[in-house]
Amino acid sequence: MQTVELCRGIILVEGERGGKYPSSNSLLVGEESFILVDTGFSLSPQAVKELKENFRVEAVVNSHCHEDHILMNHLFQDAQICCHRLDAPAVRSVTELNNRYFTPKDRELAKLGEQFLRVLLNLKDSKVDFEFENGYTFNLDVTKMTVLYAPGHSAGHCCFYFPREKVVFLSDYDLTSFGPWYGGTDSSLTETLSSVEKLKSLEAEVAVTSHRKDPIRGHDEILKLIEEYVSKIQEREKQILDALRGRWMSADELADLAIIYRRFPEPKDLFKVSERIMIEKHLEALLEKGKVKKQGDKFTAANDQ
Ligand SMILES: [Zn+2]
């Protein structure tokens, strides 16, 4: 387990393999007793034990309900577990979380999804002791951590800001080259855009995300990376329109092109559902802008595109 002290009272816990899914980076906040932000830093109970021996964790704060952020919650039963009100049901229940990854027509794959979460990742139902809202502040002796409700990635996705230190934890607006993920039925493309836009107005000098190995330092650098990150959305939109030029295709057929994932991780069929849900959100936005036409379940680029 690697930790990096960002400043007094704020410690980054590097997730395994650079925080790549199904791991994610965590934060320890405090001095004598600590808040742990997210519990997916390791898939090994031994690593969790080690962290608990070195840091007295009194509360766990989940940035949102996804498995890679709540994976080890069950090993912190003696701590207070907190998350945003809208993601609490999916932290409490693996079945509820799994339902957010599938639409009713994916019923068969959803069974495989639940198995993936429960058996392969050993994800367990978790308690939630406290549900917070936007602007809630965790007051510690050494620092203050404010909740920035930033939905889009999930319904109750939050970032955390330390105003005095100008440090921000951006959670799954992770500023990786993959770009934003909005593949849940509770995700929203428009909310992702407006949440990320709001994050630009923070006076942050250090940004940490759930899946980037190193902290980002300097306000200009943070802004530059946010711009690059958001531009992925326009890039995807353009690629979808290119694929639909002179051709009628369904969201399923577009998902086969893996425009967003490029290569589906295993289990491929499950990640292809996330791709299709993201494509559907793009198609909805493109329809609204009059850039595509729809007939039955097929889409094509409008003539003047
Ligand atoms: Zn997530």
3-class SS letters over 114-147? HHHHHHHCCCCCCCCCEEECCCCEEECCCCEEEE
Q: How far is the CA of 64 from the centre of ligand 1 (A)?
A: 7
Residues 207-222 have a mean pLDDT of 97
The average pLDDT across 89-106 equals 97
Q: The whole model's pTM is what? A: 0.96
pLDDT averaged over every residue in the chain: 97
Instruction: Give 181 Cα–ligand 1 centroid separation in angstroms.
Output: 8
Question: Is-contact 160 77, C-beta < 8 A?
Answer: no
| Confidence category of residue 255, pLDDT binned at 50, 70, 90 | very high
pLDDT at 145 over 90: yes
Of the options 3.60.15.10, 1.20.120.50, 3.40.50.2020, 2.60.40.4070, the CATH number for the domain spanning 2-230: 3.60.15.10
Span from the CA of 93 to the centroid of ligand 1 (angstroms): 16
Domain ranges for the chain, please list them. Answer: 2-230, 231-291
pLDDT value of residue 59: 98
Question: Over 60: is that where the pLDDT of 305 sits?
Answer: no
Residue 145 in tokens: 């951590």
- Ligand 1 is an ion; residues with CB less than 5 A from it: 66, 172
Model pLDDT, residue 304: 64
Q: What pLDDT, on the 0 to 100 scale, is given for residue 58?
A: 98
pLDDT confidence bin for 280, thresholds 50/70/90: very high
Looking at residue 254, its pLDDT comes to 98
For residue 172, report the distance from its CA to the centre of ligand 1, in Å.
Answer: 5
Measured distance CA(305)–CA(298) in Å, rounded: 17
Query: What pLDDT shows up at residue 303?
Result: 78
